[in-house]
Amino acid sequence: MTQGIIGGFEGSVGPVIGYKWKDVWCMRRRPTQVCNPRTERQMAHRRLFTDMVRLGGRMGEAVRIGLRQRAAEWQMTECNAFVRLNWSAAGMPSFADLRLSEGTAAPVGFTGAVVGADGVLTVTYDRMEQAGARNDDKVHVFVYNATEGLGLLLVTAERRARRIMALLPDGWAAEELHVYGFVENRDGHCSRSSYIAIGDNTEESEEESVAANAPASEPASAKAAKAVVTKAETGTKRRRGKGSPDE
């Protein structure tokens, strides 16, 4: 609605309702009849939608970065874009099928993730030389703790680094974790996110070998992680949950 003889307003005037959406004044007609049968199928659909919105909120900063481009194109919030991308009437998707980002940026090839006994997460990836790929592209890694219902966006590395190491919060190594990664280029466009399966820590990393003589009070891999990662940001509120997206 453009400014005219009436202008923008909030509330209802007769059968017309005025409201503001994304700094744009809008009007709609008041419904004359509301059908709400509350059938079992309808209530299940509502519960699924509520669970999807809640999960999108827990993904926090990863969704705000990864779906910024799509949200702008679809003219909706990043959380709503998350629901749209992952929605299935058949039920909640598995953690491995969730998409936290989408876009046109050139991806990297994530090769694995390992959590050491000292709580250090190591994620490795191939640069994947291709059109549009630059050495200074940002590689983001997001960890979702399904036990706590809490997400953590790790500090970013460049494409050329080929590895990200970060010290996880206390106790996380023993809980159910799900790891995702995606690329953000200098234009702010992101690649489609990848689910990174966590494997066994059977090999000693190069940093651990170099730092083998580190003081006993600080594990070698933790010291190496601190050299690569400066700080982690939490993007969600702490909520209690269990090991599935719909709980």
Sequential pLDDT tens for the chain (247 residues): 455 446 778 888 888 888 888 778 888 887 777 777 788 888 888 899 999 999 999 998 999 999 999 999 999 999 999 999 999 877 889 999 999 999 999 999 999 999 998 999 999 999 888 888 999 999 999 999 999 999 999 878 999 999 999 999 999 999 999 999 999 999 999 999 999 999 876 444 444 433 434 444 455 455 545 444 434 444 444 444 444 565 5
The span from the CA of 227 to the CA of 212, in Å, is 15
Beta-carbon contacts of residue 87 (< 8 Å; ≥ 6 apart): 52
The span from the CA of 157 to the CA of 137, in Å, is 8
The span from the CA of 24 to the CA of 1, in Å, is 7
Q: 27 lies in a domain?
A: no
The span from the CA of 140 to the CA of 177, in Å, is 16
C-alpha dist (Å) from residue 206 to 128, 210, 224: 22, 6, 9
Q: 5 lies in a domain?
A: no
Q: 199 lies in a domain?
A: yes
The residue range of the domain holding 148 is 42-234
CATH number for the domain spanning 124: value is 2.60.40.10
Task: Count the domains in the chain.
Answer: 1
Residue type, 93: P
The span from the CA of 103 to the CA of 64, in Å, is 13
Q: Strand, helix or coil at 227?
A: helix
Q: 204 lies in a domain?
A: yes
Q: 197 lies in a domain?
A: yes
CB 47 within 8 A of CB 62: no
Q: 246 lies in a domain?
A: no
CB 191 within 8 A of CB 125: no
Residue 245's pLDDT is what? 65
- Radius of gyration from C-alpha coordinates of the chain: 22
Residue type, 197: A
The span from the CA of 213 to the CA of 198, in Å, is 27
Which of the 8 DSSP states describes residue 195?
E
Q: 224 lies in a domain?
A: yes
Q: 228 lies in a domain?
A: yes
The span from the CA of 15 to the CA of 115, in Å, is 59
pTM score: 0.71
* Torsion angle defined by CA atoms of residues 121, 122, 127 and 133, in that order, rounded to the nearest 10 degrees: 20
Task: Find the helix or strand (DSSP H, E) in which 11 lies.
Answer: strand 11-13
In this structure, the strands spanning 177-184 and 16-21 are unpaired
